[in-house]
Amino acid sequence: MKENGSSEEELFSYLSSVREEDLKYGRILSSMCTRPHPVAIRAHMQFIETNLGDPGLFPGTMGLEDELITMLGDLLHHSGAGGYATSGGTESNIQALRIAKKQKPVDTPNVIIPASAHFSFDKACDMLGLQMRSVPLDANYRMDPVLVNEAIDEKTVAIVSVVGTTEYGMIDPVKEIGSVAADHDIFFHVDAAFGGLVAPFLPGLAPWDFLVPSVSSISVDPHKMGMSTIPCGALLLRDPEAFGCLNVDTPYLTVKKECTLAGTRPGAPVASAYAVLRYLGREGLSALVQGCMENTRRLIEGMEAFGYARAVTPDVNVATFDCPLVPTGWRVSRTRWGHMRTVLMPHVTRDVVESFLETIGESHA
């Protein structure tokens, strides 16, 4: 750090030049984040200094967090769900497994996850001393309930399914896996960090949320398809009392107990997520999702017209291809199975899709 401060002008000119080095969302097809909605940014700024780590000082913001959780619970068919706003899917998944582990204290506990699970489960299992049993997927990259059943033993403390897998956009058969969890009375966590704000608006899906009676907890991230500012995830529990096992004493704060992982927690992204959900409503969110799904279908059709087959037909707005190209000027990623991976986020508009396909066409020629 320099002895004397910089002028504001010099500072912000430097910051602008640094920001220029960042890529712009318009040509990023590899991210599950997107440009926040304008109302998200406005609400975020209004709550910029709030700290949910000491909620008694910010009762208004605390109330907004409760309202956000109620809105999400309602969307996921359990308005009485307990929950709090996390920093994202990673924290939600860690916290869900912490609860599962505390509910069933055994030596050498294990957790059953699908091979498609997000790497946050590697972190969670490492931190919590859980053996991670990864079960192979079926031909459509979904978790196989039969293999889940085979992997269970008396030390299994949790089963995890994914709604909207990170790499292929698949929805696991939650109802069937839920039956297996119920048969063995095992904590059942659904990681819907990505798909939790997509699946409620897709027609004809089998139940995957709290409608499945054995679902214990759900991760859902407003900072992905909810267009909020970063960081805003949410962990919802069927039984709000279950958070109690995570409580620690917080003697010098305005509340005397805390179950969250982070101490200081920003209220700004919570206000931002609340604002988007309230502003768009179910109708607006549904229109957003229909648009992303339509663009997903168009990209698949366009890629297949060039001979690049889809790896699988996705359930949500993630499209993967058997395509070795590295399209110049665009960001796509590769799945661990070697497929080109694209995520059709709200910033990937129809024009962006057509422009991407043009690049593919030129590279293909």
* Residues engaged in binding ligand PLP (CB under 6 A): 32, 88-90, 93, 118, 120, 162, 166, 191, 193-194, 221, 233
Cβ(259)–Cβ(247) under 8 Å?
yes
Among 47, 39, 59, 66, residue whose Cα is nearest residue 271: 47
Q: Which is nearer to ligand PLP, 345 or 357 (CB)?
A: 345
Q: Which is nearer to ligand PLP, 232 or 360 (CB)?
A: 232
Smallest separation (angstroms) from ligand PLP to the CB of 85: 12
Q: Which is nearer to ligand PLP, 97 or 360 (CB)?
A: 97
- Give the distance, in angstroms, between the CA of residue 195 and the centroid of all CA atoms in the same chain: 7
Smallest separation (angstroms) from ligand PLP to the CB of 219: 6
Smallest separation (angstroms) from ligand PLP to the CB of 69: 17
Helix (H, G, I), strand (E, B) or coil at 250: coil
Among 94, 92, 161, residue whose Cα is nearest residue 127: 94
Q: Which is nearer to ligand PLP, 123 or 184 (CB)?
A: 123
Q: Which is nearer to ligand PLP, 36 or 88 (CB)?
A: 88
Q: Which is nearer to ligand PLP, 56 or 263 (CB)?
A: 263
Residues in a beta bridge with 219: 191, 235
Smallest separation (angstroms) from ligand PLP to the CB of 318: 9
Smallest separation (angstroms) from ligand PLP to the CB of 11: 30
Burial class of residue 30 (count of CB atoms within 10 Å of its CB; 0-12, 13-18, 19+): middle
Cβ(152)–Cβ(177) under 8 Å?
no
Q: Which is nearer to ligand PLP, 54 or 65 (CB)?
A: 65
Smallest separation (angstroms) from ligand PLP to the CB of 169: 10
CA dihedral 308, 195, 97, 341 (to 10 degrees): 20
Smallest separation (angstroms) from ligand PLP to the CB of 314: 13
Q: What is the rounded CA–CA span in Å between residue 20 and residue 24?
A: 9
Cβ(206)–Cβ(173) under 8 Å?
yes
Q: Which is nearer to ligand PLP, 50 or 93 (CB)?
A: 93
Q: Which is nearer to ligand PLP, 82 or 88 (CB)?
A: 88
Q: What is the rounded CA–CA span in Å between residue 235 and residue 255?
A: 20
Q: What is the rounded CA–CA span in Å between residue 353 and residue 295?
A: 7
Q: Which is nearer to ligand PLP, 194 or 308 (CB)?
A: 194
Tell me the CA distances in angstroms from 39 to 115, 201, 242, one per residue in order. Answer: 37, 21, 33
- In the block, tokens 């996705």 appear at 314
Q: What is the rounded CA–CA span in Å between residue 233 and residue 245?
A: 21
Smallest separation (angstroms) from ligand PLP to the CB of 118: 4
Q: What is the rounded CA–CA span in Å between residue 30 and residue 179?
A: 34
Smallest separation (angstroms) from ligand PLP to the CB of 33: 8
Cβ(216)–Cβ(224) under 8 Å?
no
Burial class of residue 195 (count of CB atoms within 10 Å of its CB; 0-12, 13-18, 19+): buried
Q: Which residue is closest to ligand PLP by CB?
A: 88
Smallest separation (angstroms) from ligand PLP to the CB of 177: 15
